[in-house]
Amino acid sequence: MTRFLARRALGAVGTLFGVLVAVFLLLSAAPGDPARLAAGGLPGRRPASEEALRAFRAVHGLDRPVAARLGAWLGSAARLDLGRSFRDGRKVTERIGETLPATLSVNGVALLLAALAGVPLGIAAARRPGGRADRFSGLLLDALYSLPSFALGLLLLLLFAVKLRWVPVFADPSAGPAGLALPALTLALVALAPIARVVRESVRTALRSPSAIAGRARGESPREETLRALRRSVPAFAGLLASLVPQLVAGSVLVERVFAVPGTGQLLADSVFARDLPTVLGLTLASGVAVVLATLLADALAAFADPRLVDVEEG
Amino acid sequence: MTRHCVRRRLLVLALFPALALLAPVLARNRPADAPLAHQLLTPVPFDPDATDLAARLRPPDGTHLLGTDDLGRDVLSRLLHGARVSVLVGLAAAALAFAAGTLLGAAAGTLGPGVDRAVLVLTGVVQAFPALVLVAAGAALVPPSRFTAALLIALTAWPEAARLVRAEALRLAASPYVEAAWAAGASPGRVVLRHVLPGAVAPALATLPYVVGGAVLLEASLSFLGLGVPPPTASWGRALADARESLTSAWWCVVPPAAALFLLVLAARKAGEALTESR
């Protein structure tokens, strides 16, 4: 088990290193002069003077050779220092930290809602394949997979804010639950589809396994049967958790735009628009690290829940 | 899933690119582009980019079948022309991703552990990022256009095809006929392209509709964030971003592009489902 985890961790470190280098290469491969882009990238702004450009390059270390910059970038990224924003000169980590609470609270509520609805739905669909719950969840999942999150958000706004007037149209999510409700509901619906699908498939497989049939022969109640099936599905749930992270990150970027949530996704969109490269790349890196760590965590969880996975690999 | 059903679902999916290609015939293009007779014969007699401030935010009626947006542009005309961006960029991106993915996958499976490891590391790194974040970061570096949007989306979408083709290629690479090709002195490029790739491509081909659906969604997301094809070019994602500004007064700006995106992605999913299940 330890060896398995150590190897997975090593693999994750390797991928993280690749992620760091990829992000740096993106930075330096940018066509055009980043200083000029940042200083004059927006229409309507006066082009910067030569002197200002030189000062800008010196502040952001852009006047040094690429190899030196790669070394410095790896070193500072390891110390969680992502440089300073081109826009206001503040630390990128500080700017990310400011927006994170809003994003995390929306995502937390969304994940909770999605799990509360998705797990029972998946179980109901798995218990009776072809039954009413199965057909309903099939239709629902098709619809949710096909509707982009931002279109879904706009339609929910149209329904709940414009027609029914239950919530204000553009509420401040930090002001309270009324503002949080629609963004969280939208993200919950985004996460609901994969959760219900994985629960349905893994529980259905577990219910068909020999041990489930043996249990039924011993006279296990449906409740015990379902609980056992859920326990056997933990590795699948771990994988699901890892795949939800990138989906929720992308969903947050779009949903925060729809509802004007001052979160990390909004920061990314704004920074891309303003050509604020350090912030864009810091956020790219952060999302990459989040996905790699979630995958590692999922691997560990799956290995603890089902030690046979380790044996297969060592095997 | 019967063969008949597969064909029907693929035909439904093919309706969308057909509609995109026919947009200039169905809805009036820029007046300077076509002869007057042709302009008068189009069923939707409004230029997608022509603003008419006297007719702002008109609800659907006999003249503007789907109403007008906040600049008085015809929603139906913009929907038809928007398909040219949303559908065609999605298709181009999926085709590019498919080509790159199958090539890399076949090479990884055929050319030994060195190439294999390199491709695996590359897929691992690309898949470590949420696709939208990677595409958005790319959009900060290159000026937006149809071509760069397709290229950026393809850059994030190839690993899945590579993974599927690699698995098949690993199996084929051990088969006698591939060994015979090596023994006969075929070059690595020839072995990969002529002997392994044709037999290994089927599973990736079956998932191609999913890739198209994903690429369309990514393009729409990019346009929605204002990072896609620059204005005034109509696209479904941008139409939704514009509609957000006039949400309280004009539902008809939101529903048509949302429905179009929904139907296209649903058609792609259903076609992919039929293809993968019929194999």
Task: State the ipTM, two decimals.
Answer: 0.83
Question: How far apart (Å, rounded) are the C-alpha atoms in residues B212 and A135?
Answer: 26
Q: What is the pLDDT of residue B45?
A: 67
DSSP B231: T
Q: A86-101 pLDDT, tens per residue?
A: 777 788 888 888 888 8
The pLDDT of A123-144, averaged and rounded, is: 87
Name the phi and psi angles at B44, rounded to 5: -105, 100
Non-local (6+) Cβ contacts of B242 within 8 A are B69, B70, B253
The pLDDT of B168-173, averaged and rounded, is: 89
Percent residues over pLDDT 90 in chain A: 8
Confidence of residue A269 (pLDDT cuts 50, 70, 90): confident
Q: Which two tokens stand for residue B195?
A: 């002997």
Confidence of residue A176 (pLDDT cuts 50, 70, 90): low
Confidence of residue A172 (pLDDT cuts 50, 70, 90): low
Confidence of residue A170 (pLDDT cuts 50, 70, 90): low
The larger pLDDT score, comparing residue B151 to residue A163, is at B151
Q: What is the pLDDT of residue B93?
A: 93
Q: What is the pLDDT of residue A41?
A: 46
Query: Do B225 and A253 lie within an 8 Å CB cutoff?
Result: yes
Burial environment of residue B182 by CB neighbours within 10 A (0 to 12, 13 to 18, 19 or more): middle
Question: How far apart (Å, rounded) are the C-alpha atoms in residues B69 and B57?
Answer: 5
Q: What is the pTM of this model?
A: 0.85
Residue A42 has pLDDT above 70, yes or no: no
Confidence of residue B38 (pLDDT cuts 50, 70, 90): low
Helix A2-29 / helix A277-305 crossing angle, nearest 10 deg: 160
The larger pLDDT score, comparing residue A36 to residue B77, is at B77
The mean pLDDT value of chain A amounts to 82
Name the phi and psi angles at B74, rounded to 5: -70, 125
> A252-269: b or e for each residue (b if 16 or more CB lie within 10 Å)?
bbbbbbbbbbbbbbbbbb
Q: What is the pLDDT of residue B95?
A: 93
Residue B222 has pLDDT above 80, yes or no: yes
Residues of A in Cβ contact (< 8 Å) with B132 = 249-250, 253-254
Residue A59 has pLDDT above 70, yes or no: no
Residue B99 has pLDDT above 90, yes or no: yes
Of B121, B129, B221, the CB nearest to A284: B129
Residues of B in Cβ contact (< 8 Å) with A158 = 247, 251, 254
- Ranking A6-10, A28-32, A49-53, A288-292 by mean pLDDT, the lowest is A28-32
If you compute the radius of gyration of chain A from its CA atoms, what whole number of angstroms results? Answer: 24
Between CA B103 and CA B214, with CA B219 as vertex, the angle to 5 degrees is 55
Helix/strand/coil (H/E/C) assignment for every residue in chain A:
CHHHHHHHHHHHHHHHHHHHHHHHHHHHHCCCCHHHHHHHCCCCCCCCCHHHHHHHHHHCCCCCCHHHHHHHHHHHHHCCCCCECCCCCCEHHHHHHHHHHHHHHHHHHHHHHHHHHHHHHHHHHHHCCCCHHHHHHHHHHHHHHHCCHHHHHHHHHHHHHHHCCCCCCCCCHHHCHHHHHHHHHHHHHHHHHHHHHHHHHHHHHHHHCHHHHHHHHHCCCHHHHHHHHHHHCHHHHHHHHHHHHHHHHHHHHHHHHHHCCCCHHHHHHHHHHCCCHHHHHHHHHHHHHHHHHHHHHHHHHHHHHCCHHHHHHHC
Query: If we measure between CA atoms, which residue out of A237, A226, A235 comes closest to residue A204?
Result: A226
Query: B49: helix, coil or strand?
Result: coil
- Ranking A87-96, A231-240, B172-181 by mean pLDDT, the lowest is A87-96
Pick from A42, A144, A146 the residue to mutate for testing the B interface (most B CBs within 10 Å): A146
B26 touches chain A (CB under 8 A): no
Query: Do B244 and A154 lie within an 8 Å CB cutoff?
Result: yes
The amino acid that residue A107 corresponds to is: N
Q: In A, residues 37-76, which contact B (CB 8 Å cutoff)?
A: none
The pLDDT of A225-229, averaged and rounded, is: 87
- Ranking A205-214, A224-233, B65-74 by mean pLDDT, the lowest is B65-74
Query: Do B226 and A281 lie within an 8 Å CB cutoff?
Result: no
Residues of B in Cβ contact (< 8 Å) with A287 = 129-130, 133
CA A155, A157, A161, A162 dihedral sign is negative
Q: What is the pLDDT of residue A46?
A: 59
Pick from B79, B119, B145, B224 the residue to mutate for testing the A interface (most A CBs within 10 Å): B224
Q: What is the pLDDT of residue B264?
A: 92
Question: How far apart (Å, rounded) are the C-alpha atoms in residues B229 and B239?
Answer: 12
Which run of H or E residues covers position B4? helix B3-26
Name the closest residue on chain A to residue B239, using Cα atoms: A151
Cis bond before residue A31 (omega within 30° of 0): no
**How far are the Cα atoms of A13, A296, B155 from residue A10, in angstroms, in the given order?**
5, 10, 26
Question: How far apart (Å, rounded) are the C-alpha atoms in residues A258 and A74?
Answer: 35
B147 touches chain A (CB under 8 A): no
The larger pLDDT score, comparing residue B144 to residue B40, is at B144
DSSP B227: -
